[in-house]
Structure 1
Amino acid sequence: MKHFSEISSSAERVVDAAEGLIQQHGYNGFSYDDVAQLVGIKKPSIHHHFPKKEELVAVVAQRYTHRFRSELLNIEGQHAKAPDRLSAYAALFQHTFALDRRLCVCGMLGAETDSLPELVASEVAHFFKVNLDWLCLVIGEGQSAGLINARISAAALAEQFLCAMEGAMMVGRGMRSARGPAAVGQTFIATVTIA
């Protein structure tokens, strides 16, 4: 499998189109015909870059995880306190959701895990591990600083917060609501922070 940093600019346009299609329709809801139509190329050109759909989607998930990890580092550089970092984290999900109620790429793929090729499923699992590890660290630091309630483990709160973010996107889309992850995130943060 290619690494996302090694693909050409024309292949990147294919990855961009596939990302949007995944966010709207999932792995099983789009074809190379759909990508070709969006990009304005013929289907054999897509096969030239990505012989199999699983390779394309794995690169999409890999790049998405990398960009998300970069955003997490930006949050660390801009916010010192755990509650502020958690608010900024929720804003990442809100930004995605604000684009026509799109869902997180890996959240959408995660819902289809049982029907995904292993190559894609492992990239999705990696995304969630990156997020849970980061959240656990942030929440643990907040607990040590006396800013976040320590009665529940940092790992359990991290999982709860990530589930709340992914779930807020799905419920918001399902209800065709503008209320999304930011509002749900603020409720969670208000519940776990120590005044």
Structure 2
Amino acid sequence: MVHNSSKSISVSDRAFVEFCRCLYQAKAVVRELESFSNSVCPILNSHPELIQKEEKGEMTRFGNGLLLEQVNKYLNTTFRKFTRLCRILMVVLTQIETSSAGKVKKERIDSFRVEVWEEWKTATSIKQRLIHFTQQSKKDKTVYTTTTTTMTTLDDPPSTTTTTTTTTTTTTTTLR
């Protein structure tokens, strides 16, 4: 019975169903990032010592920067996967638009495209907020600084829209 109903669904409708599933996954990642940010930012704000790396003799104080490493690792991994998912969604939309030849309204495709962009902007904002909190929580005694720049470009050829976000993560180590 399910098999018969799947035959009656058009190819473009099936593509949109799959697209919606992927879009739902992207939105779930953004909600996960929001939850993570809402949990971590207050902790970093209230207890900056948790991410500061300070050594006193042979003993290390607090987390020895492990929390910061874990936050950065989670953030980079999640954002990289999310960006890849957004790129795939935009490619799928472009393919649907190209192959449908007027069967699918441009407004429908554009509304999905806007949803993808909005989720991507929200995720980028959350990432920047977390980076800001990790940088604000550090002490002013900086001797050695490493800067990593990640550039993400989402390009959507049919609408000739290009969005580029550059995120700079600064890791500070206090040398004694």
Asked whether the two chains share a fold, i.e. TM above 0.5, the reply is: no
Query: Which of 1 and 2 has greater Rg?
Result: 2
Query: Whose strand proportion is higher, 1 or 2?
Result: 2
The alignment's TM-score, normalised by the length of structure 1, stands at 0.41
The structure with more helix, counted as a fraction of residues: 1
* TM-score, scaled relative to structure 2: 0.44
